[in-house]
Structure formats: C-alpha cells, structure tokens
Structure 1
Amino acid sequence: MLLSAVGYRYGWRAPWVLDRVDLELRPGDLVRVGGYNGSGKSTLMRIIAGAHLPRRGTVSGRPDRAAYIPGQLPPLPFKAHDYLRHFGRIRGLSTAEADERILDWLERFEALSYRKHRISDLSRGTAQKIAIIQAMLAEPELLVLDEAWTSLDTSGQGTLDEVARDTARRGGRVVFVDHDPQRLADDATAAHVLRDGALAPASAADFEAALVTIDLENAPDPWPGPGAGRLLADGVLRIEVDPGDSDQVLHDILNDHPKIHVLAVRTVEGRRTQAEKQTGEAS
C-alpha cells in the first residue's frame, strides 16, 4: 500500500493539514505515527483507512479488508451482540460464523457478560471493546488504530496490543497512534512523526513523555509559575508543563491572573525542557 504526495485540507481556502505525505505499508508492517495534537494524525489515519479521500496525491494498494478504530464508539441504542452480528453479516459472515467469532472476541476482551446490554448503557471502556471487536470480525488486512487504547482498562490495553501484533504476524498492515511512549515500542517495524503536514522518520525522543504547551498573552517574563517559560518572537509567552499539572496551571491562570489571555493549549509529544535535557546529558 502506498501513499504518494498526499494532501488534505478542510475546505478550499483552509490551510493544508496534510501536505506531501509519503508512506509505504508492506505486509507485516506495524507502524507508529506521532505528532502533537492538531498536527493531522487523525486525518491521516482516516485517509489510510479509506474514510477520507485525499484532496491531492494518491493512495494505492489498500487491502480490501480494512478496519479503522477511533478512540470512542458513539452511544448507540443497539444491543452489543445485535450490533456485532449486523456488522458480521455486512462483512459476509453467516449468522453462525458471526456468532462464533463474536463470542470468541467477547471472551477474549472479558466482555461476554455485556453482550445483551445496549451500547449506550456501557462504560466508555466496554463500548471501546465492542468497537474493536466489530473491526476484527472480518480479520482485516489493514488495521488503523487512532488512539484506540483510550478508555480501555489495563487488561483491554494488553489485549489490543496482542491484536496489533497478531495482525502484523499474519501478514496484515497495522498503523497506530497512541500517547503512551512505550506502546508496542519493541514491536514497531517503523516510526514516523508528523510535522508541518509531512511525515519524517522518528527518533526515540519523538515518543518520550508528552508535555503540554500553553501560549499566553500579557504574561510576565520570566514566568513565575510552574513549568518552563520562553518568550516567542511575537511577544507570546509559551510555557511547558507536565500533562498531569496542566489543568491546575490553567485553573490558576484563569482565576488568579485575569489580564493574561490563554491563546492556545496543545499536547506535544517528544519534547523536553532544557533543564531535563541537561539532566539527561549529565547522567
């Protein structure tokens, strides 16, 4: 499967979210894609899966059996087993074949007791397991995982890891996005980072623990609060904080500093503050 000079934008006058993306996926590949929030990762995942058509460039050689799993299944009013059986039939399975596979997958994901529950009544984690099972019923040759581990419990995350490995081992192609820097680190055959609309080879640092960057207007320099601050050319102060501290930092800014304007908040993978880099180099 080959993506050649793929570009995408949401409207004729909108900026290009993706530009000149090239990617080759061979049987057995297990490929990771990283990049900060808003860089276009989900758009790229949908194009790979066939849910979006590129605005320019080409996609060729996509396998007939492709599956896309996002991070959340909508709260549908159908019972889980009925929903899965319906999709099994769409994928060409007989009722008996669909039921056999459904029960096997439900058991594998420890969700057998929820088969008669409405999806809208399930927890997000259990509903996500139903989304994964739906995608796996036809044994896809292309599996696209767009933060599909989101909301899963530890057991479910481990099972999805196994699903990704098994799909690649039997000759399928797997492409995934996830915020955990260790996700399938020893199994990935390639890793790329999406920057400025294009893919580039990723280094280990590109998947280190993420930081949250917050762009501020009318903020003091040097920054007195938590995190590391640096002044940008346009007078905006950018601070970098750990994801676990970002909510509290934003809360404090909004409540204690009414003259400071929050311009942007985003999660950036593979970024470390200068102090952290120096500590790492010293060790």
Structure 2
Amino acid sequence: MRLANLSYRYARRAPWVLHEVDLDLPAGTVAEVTGRNGAGKSTLLRLLAGTARPSRGSVSGRPPVVGYAPEIFPVQQPFTVTAYLAHMAAVRGVTATSMDPWVERLGMATLLDVPLGDLSKGSAHKVGLAQALLVPPGLLILDEPFSGLDEQTRAELPRVIDEVAAAGGIVVVSDHQNGLTGRPGVTHLRVENGMVRAVAPAEVQDMARDRSPGDAPARSIIEVLVDAGDAEAVARKLQADGYEARIRGEAR
C-alpha cells in the first residue's frame, strides 16, 4: 500500500492538515502512529481506511478488505450489540456466526443484549474492534484501541494484531496507551507539522522520556460521592472504562 504526494485539508482555504506525504506500507507491516494532539493522526488513519479522500495525491494498493475501529464508536445507533454485529456481518456478506470468535476473545458475552447507547467506553471499544474483525482484514486501522479496555482484552489485542500481520495484513495503530510497547518489528511513524516520517526505535525511546504535557490529553479531577458500601464497585467500573479511580475515604 502506498501514499504518494498525499495532502489533506478540510476546506479549500483551510490550512493543510497533512502535506505531501509519501509512505509505503508493505504486507505484514505493523505501524504505530504517534504525534501531538491535533497533529493529524486520526486524519491519516481515515485517509488510509478510505473514509476520507485526499485533497491532493493518491492512496494505491489498499487491500480490498478494510477493518476500521475509530476512536469514538457511534453508540447512538438503535441496536443491541448482537443486532449491530449481525447487521455489520450482513453488510460484509458473511453470516452472523462470524461474530462468535470475537465475542469469546474480547470478553463480550455479557454485552450481547445491551443497547449500544448503554455501553461503557471500554465496552463500546470492544464492539468497534469486533465489527472491524468480522471478515479477516487485509488492512486493519485502530484508533486508540486500548483506551478503556479491561486487562484481559488489553492482553488479547496484541495477539490479534500479530495474527493479522502474520497473514499478510497491514495494521496501523494510533495509541496513547503504549499497548504495543516492546513488540518487535513495529514501524514507528511520527505525524508532525503536516508531515509523516519514520522514527528509529532509539528516537521513540527518547521521545517517550522527553514527552511534554502537550503530547497527552488534558486531565481533570471529578469528585463523586457515593455510599461507602458502593465505593469499590463504582471504582472498579470506572477503572474498567479506562479511568484512574481511587477511594479517598469516608466523607462527612
């Protein structure tokens, strides 16, 4: 797959988000995309997936089967989890049973009858991952896939990525959670000033050490008062959704 002289902006007179990007992604590539907030990482993923069209330049050699799990899953759709995945299976021309392996591997059995609008952040991510994998993808695009996942699913996802790459697929991941840390053979790409460049492993380590607060999402503290007997259950739910939650003690 190749991006040639690719540029993108949201309107004719708007500034360029990406400018004259040249990038080769051979079969079997696992690429991690990094960059500051607003640098254009998600835009690059949408261009790769084909959900956005370049303003200039071209994308060639895109595999015919693309699995795309966006950062924000559209939970407003009027489906339960089962109905949604069955619908997506029909759209992709496969039977509803194609969801079964992913229900097991991603720990989704208790979610099947839940309306999409009632899902937690982490559970919505699981559904997004499952729909992207209903058909073995030749190109798998994952935007912040580790966000909000429970420990079991966080451990399973790198294995899924390895399987796609081993079958000759291309995997491109944007990730603030460092879910691929230590995985050998990852191609590191940095989006910066509208350009995309390959980053050597040593530079990746340097950037991790020198990362400034602007590289990570801004954080806020929200205080929630609950009955003491419910505190542990509420904290566990927040942690399962990817938040840092601590019990501070009894409020008077």
More strand by share: 1
Deviation of residue 208 (structure 1)?
4.3
Deviation of residue 185 (structure 1)?
3.5
- For residues 209 and 70 of structure 1, do their structure 2 counterparts lie closer, same or farther at Cα, with a shift above 3 Å needed? farther
1:171 matched to 2:172? The reply is: no
Deviation of residue 151 (structure 1)?
1.6
Distance across 2 between alignment mates of 1:168 and 1:160? 13
Deviation of residue 247 (structure 1)?
4.1
Deviation of residue 90 (structure 1)?
1.1
> Match of 2:146, SS?
coil
The partner residue of 1:134 within 131, 134, 138 is 131
1:30–1:187 Cα contact (<8 Å) kept: no
- For residues 245 and 150 of structure 1, do their structure 2 counterparts lie closer, same or farther at Cα, with a shift above 3 Å needed? closer
> Match of 1:103, SS?
helix
> Match of 2:190, SS?
strand
Distance across 2 between alignment mates of 1:243 and 1:139? 32
Aligned CA RMSD, in angstroms, stands at 2.0
Distance across 2 between alignment mates of 1:192 and 1:54? 19
Deviation of residue 183 (structure 1)?
2.1
TM-score, length of structure 1 as denominator length? 0.71
Amino acid at match of 1:51: T
Deviation of residue 115 (structure 1)?
0.8
In the TM superposition, what whole-angstrom CA distance separates every residue of 1:198-248 from its partner, at most 9, and x where no partner exists? 1122122234474324xxxxxxxxxxxxxxxxxxxxxxxxxxxx9699647
The partner residue of 2:119 within 113, 118, 122 is 122
- For residues 207 and 34 of structure 1, do their structure 2 counterparts lie closer, same or farther at Cα, with a shift above 3 Å needed? farther
2:37–2:217 Cα contact (<8 Å) kept: no
Identity of aligned residues (%): 36
Which residue number in structure 2 is paired with residue 50 of structure 1?
A: 50
Distance across 2 between alignment mates of 1:155 and 1:16? 40
In the TM superposition, what whole-angstrom CA distance separates every residue of 1:69-123 from its partner, at most 9, and x where no partner exists? 11231223201111101111111113xxx22x21221111111121111111121
Deviation of residue 165 (structure 1)?
1.2
1:181–1:207 Cα contact (<8 Å) kept: no
Distance across 2 between alignment mates of 1:29 and 1:21? 18
Deviation of residue 182 (structure 1)?
5.7
- For residues 121 and 209 of structure 1, do their structure 2 counterparts lie closer, same or farther at Cα, with a shift above 3 Å needed? farther
Amino acid at match of 2:188: A
TM-score, length of structure 2 as denominator length? 0.80
Query: Greater relative contact order: 1 or 2 (C-alpha under 8 angstroms, separation 6 or more)?
Result: 2
1:64 matched to 2:64? The reply is: yes
Amino acid at match of 1:50: G
The equivalences for 1:157-236 within 5 A come to 157-181=154-178, 183-202=180-199, 203-204=203-204, 205-208=206-209, 210-213=211-214
- For residues 148 and 25 of structure 1, do their structure 2 counterparts lie closer, same or farther at Cα, with a shift above 3 Å needed? same
Which structure would you say has the larger Rg? 1
Distance across 2 between alignment mates of 1:188 and 1:119? 36
Which residue number in structure 2 is paired with residue 83 of structure 1?
A: 84
> Match of 1:33, SS?
strand
1:25–1:173 Cα contact (<8 Å) kept: yes
Amino acid at match of 2:212: L
The number of residues matched between the two structures is: 216
1:212–1:246 Cα contact (<8 Å) kept: no
Amino acid at match of 2:70: P
Amino acid at match of 1:169: A
In the TM superposition, what whole-angstrom CA distance separates every residue of 1:27-54 from its partner, at most 9, and x where no partner exists? 1100111110011000000000001000
In the TM superposition, what whole-angstrom CA distance separates every residue of 1:152-188 from its partner, at most 9, and x where no partner exists? 1222222222111111111100011101346243234
Distance across 1 between alignment mates of 2:182 and 2:37? 20
- For residues 181 and 207 of structure 1, do their structure 2 counterparts lie closer, same or farther at Cα, with a shift above 3 Å needed? farther
Deviation of residue 193 (structure 1)?
0.6
